């Protein structure tokens, strides 16, 4: 059964899926994207992801490539054609195809849309969570508008590669004042000695993770306090627990930061409870 991708109105074999060489996403990273988790046949937190897509498009003065309902149907069709029960659906919208020029195209062009889906084994993700991940820190070197989910991810690419080369799995961007921003593709959290969850405010400087928002609701359901404030690398290294959140990693414990173990160097119980309760609280929309 070949993998199928949706590219600008067509369902095509994934191996042969392609965009035009003058797609502005390809040449200028002039586009935005979303990734939704698929779990047990449900699209997780679809409303939040599509609301954020709407915001990203508006911030970049781009139009929706299809209306929202039609895009939801395409997402489901891609999930169905790829037989994804557990995995993810990826969607990318770029400003379209136009002769290369930095300024917006002068003639109206249709935004380009690509949707792909991938099967993933939930046992592999659980294994990673059981083991916990190591993170390194890197200086923040991104632009100020990382609240927009653009496909311009070069600093994130280099940060993740640095992590891999250091034997870690994620890199946290750190501001000059020593406070942690977020990971290359995750939001960063700590648990203080009194059991409060701490994560950076999402007004500026980080992506407002959809999983981050759901984890706040999960924390509430478990009677855990959440404080939105900055925290330093040192505070994270001395915290009771640290963890990251994202649609693909859900809640994954961090067991070391720059080579220093967090607490006893093993995944903590708070991260585990949040992960275990996640599915019950998250929005679940049937994927077919």
Among 56, 246, 252, 287, binds ligand PMP (CB under 6 A): 246
**Residue 209 interacts with ligand PMP (CB under 6 A)?**
yes
Report how far Cα 245 is from the mean position of its chain's Cα atoms: 8
Distance CA 26, CA 96 (A): 10
**Is 81:73 a contact under the CB 8 Å cutoff?**
no
Would you tell me how many other CB atoms lie within 10 Å of the CB of residue 112? 22
- Closest distance to ligand PMP from the beta carbon of 185 (Å): 4
Active site residues: 149
Query: What residues have CB less than 8 Å from 127, skipping those under 6 apart?
Result: none
Distance CA 155, CA 275 (A): 28
Distance CA 118, CA 139 (A): 32
**Residue 187 interacts with ligand PMP (CB under 6 A)?**
yes
Token pair in block for residue 267: 């995944």
By C-beta, is 97 or 212 nearer to ligand PMP?
Answer: 212
**Residue 185 interacts with ligand PMP (CB under 6 A)?**
yes
Using the rule CB under 6 A, give the single segment among 97-105, 106-114, 185-193, 253-261 that binds ligand PMP. Answer: 185-193
By C-beta, is 147 or 258 nearer to ligand PMP?
Answer: 147
> How do beta strands 10-13 and 4-7 pair?
antiparallel
Token pair in block for residue 92: 């990318």
**Residue 50 interacts with ligand PMP (CB under 6 A)?**
no
Among 56, 94, 179, 211, binds ligand PMP (CB under 6 A): 211
Interface mask toward ligand PMP for 189-208; x: CB under 6 A: ------------------x-
Alpha-helical segments (H) within 147-193: 154-165
**Residue 219 interacts with ligand PMP (CB under 6 A)?**
no
- Closest distance to ligand PMP from the beta carbon of 288 (Å): 22
**Residue 150 interacts with ligand PMP (CB under 6 A)?**
no
Residues that bind ligand PMP (CB under 6 A): 35, 182, 185-187, 207, 209-212, 245-247
């Amino acid at each position: 059964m070949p993998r199928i991708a949706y590219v600008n109105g067509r369902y095509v074999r994934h191996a042969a899926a392609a965009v035009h060489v003058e797609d502005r996403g390809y040449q200028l990273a002039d586009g935005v994207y979303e990734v939704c988790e698929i779990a047990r046949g449900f699209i997780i937190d679809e409303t939040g992801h599509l609301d954020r897509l709407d915001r990203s498009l508006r911030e970049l003065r781009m139009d929706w490539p299809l209306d929202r309902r039609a895009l939801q149907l395409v997402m489901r069709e891609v999930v169905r054609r790829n037989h994804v029960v557990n995995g993810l659906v990826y969607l990318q919208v770029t400003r379209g195809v136009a002769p290369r020029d930095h300024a917006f195209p002068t003639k109206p062009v249709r935004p380009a849309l690509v949707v792909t889906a991938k099967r993933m084994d939930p046992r592999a993700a659980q294994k990673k969570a059981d083991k916990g991940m190591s993170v390194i820190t890197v200086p923040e070197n991104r632009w100020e508008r990382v609240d927009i989910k653009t496909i311009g991810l070069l600093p994130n690419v280099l940060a993740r590669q640095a992590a891999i080369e250091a034997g870690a799995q994620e890199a946290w961007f750190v501001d000059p004042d020593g406070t942690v921003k977020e990971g290359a593709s995750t939001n960063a959290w700590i648990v203080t000695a009194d059991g409060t969850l701490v994560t950076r405010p999402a007004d500026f400087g980080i992506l407002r993770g959809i999983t981050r928002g759901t984890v706040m609701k999960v924390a509430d359901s478990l009677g855990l306090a959440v404080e939105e404030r900055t925290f330093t690398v040192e505070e994270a290294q001395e915290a009771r627990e640290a963890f990251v959140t994202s649609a693909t990693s859900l809640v994954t414990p961090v067991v070391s930061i720059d080579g220093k173990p967090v607490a006893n160097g093993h995944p903590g119980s708070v991260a585990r409870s949040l992960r275990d309760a996640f599915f019950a609280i998250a929005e679940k929309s049937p994927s077919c």
